[in-house]
Structure 1
Amino acid sequence: MSSHHIIRENQEPALIVASYEALDEEYIGQLLEWSPTVIANDDTVDFFLAADIKVDVVFSTKERAYQQEQVRNFPIKKGFIADALDYLIQHNHKAVNIVCDMSDDILASYSGLINIVVLSHGIRYVYILHRYEKWKEAGARIFVPENLLKSLVGIKHINRNEFITEQDGFIYLEFNSDEYVCIGEEI
């Protein structure tokens, strides 16, 4: 007996790649396994084309023809990531993985409209409202703005905005903000 997965359009998180160097190629390969909508820019489109990876949308500063068929090209208006997020929201995407050099302050403003995960140089960032609960192994590093913490369980402070899990088990964070809070964890 075989199992079949039915993928509905926009069911899998889309993939925005602002910097292919921000994440290991093997990890990018894992993100591409379910054939997400792939959005690139002038800096990353050639990486995908050279690897024969299908690109769906390119936000660019110039009009350009691509060897792949059906690549949609749009001019950059607000900024690459903001324009890409606007596109995904307009096309009813519910989630996106963003590979970039660092978490962008603008992302918190989009977090109520689309589920955002940022992957950058060994850290996975998520945007959380009110509280965060997750099982983590002992010694895992967590990055969170300490001025937004109301309470915490299972982690201890080691540096500014950096914490470490004390033992295997669930950690609990509660925030003193009604805004989305960016939390980073090592991957």
Structure 2
Amino acid sequence: MSSHHFVKEQQEPALLILSTKGLEYENLAPLLEWSPTVVVAQEEVNKVISWGIKIDLILADLNFQQENYKLLEAQYPVKFIGVTEEAYLEEALQYLVATKHEAVNIIGFPHQKVFTLEQKLEFIDLVVWDAPLRYFPVKNGQFKKWFTTCSIQIHAPEGTFVEVIAEDQNQIHQISYATFIEVEEGLLTLKSNQVFWIGEFVAED
């Protein structure tokens, strides 16, 4: 049990569910493989329970806590994290950083707002799922990965320059809203002088 506890608390990215719109259980199942800490906003609790997912922490205002106190027993050992003014994301990230989680998958956060998260990247690694894409930040100016043939989005402040280096060509992209590029199978390197995010379509089996 101690090894499981170590994985849950330290290594496996936590799972923060703010919205399930556009997602099915099958999209989340791979993220549950190693029993991550599961944190859920109050509006999504019933949906997540219906999927059979065990919740660890519920982000809830005082009214929800009072009206759903039975969840503490039904989902034991679930805990409430008190939230005011619907500050679910902020409260969740504060908790996860304080409990020394190294990473979190954020489900249902609008990708247009990922730039507001960048001050958190010093403390915790973030992957944002905004159906049907998942977004991850490139913090150190360069990212290299083997891609299959696909379409990816490069998400950065308007006017940012990102260099895309494939095996047979280099291209400079000036980012505008929803900049998608078509990628051929092979090793791809992306470079910029500031933080940018890469959006990949979530695979559907």
RMSD: 2.3
Percentage identity across paired residues of the two chains? 28
Q: How far has the Cα of 1:26 moved from its partner?
A: 0.2
- Residues 28, 139 of structure 1: alpha-carbon distance in 2 compared, 3 angstrom cutoff: closer
Matched AA of 1:26: E
* 2:109/2:128 contact within 8 Å kept: no
Number of corresponding residues: 180
Structure 2: which 5+ residue stretches go unaligned?
none
Question: 2:30, 2:154 → 1: CA distance?
Answer: 24
- Residues 77, 147 of structure 1: alpha-carbon distance in 2 compared, 3 angstrom cutoff: same
- TM-score normalized by structure 1? 0.84
2:38 paired residue number: 38
Question: 2:97, 2:32 → 1: CA distance?
Answer: 20
- Residues 160, 47 of structure 1: alpha-carbon distance in 2 compared, 3 angstrom cutoff: closer
Tell whether 2:151 aligns with 1:137. no
Q: How far has the Cα of 1:159 moved from its partner?
A: 7.3
Matched AA of 1:184: G
Q: How far has the Cα of 1:101 moved from its partner?
A: 4.4
Matched AA of 2:52: D
1:50 paired residue number: 50
Question: 1:22, 1:112 → 2: CA distance?
Answer: 30
Greater helix content: 2
Question: 2:150, 2:81 → 1: CA distance?
Answer: 44
1:170 paired residue number: 187
* Secondary structure of the corresponding residue to residue 28 of structure 2: helix
- Residues 182, 167 of structure 1: alpha-carbon distance in 2 compared, 3 angstrom cutoff: closer
Question: 1:29, 1:139 → 2: CA distance?
Answer: 23
* Secondary structure of the corresponding residue to residue 28 of structure 1: helix
* Secondary structure of the corresponding residue to residue 21 of structure 2: helix
Question: 1:171, 1:165 → 2: CA distance?
Answer: 11
Question: 1:121, 1:22 → 2: CA distance?
Answer: 6
Cα shift readout 1:65-106 (whole Å, capped 9, x = no counterpart): 112112111211471111101100000000111111412343
Question: 1:50, 1:81 → 2: CA distance?
Answer: 22
Alignment match of 1:147 (pick from 155, 159, 168): 159
Q: How far has the Cα of 1:160 moved from its partner?
A: 4.3
* 2:154/2:196 contact within 8 Å kept: no
* 1:22/1:101 contact within 8 Å kept: no
Which is further off, 156-165 or 76-85?
Answer: 156-165
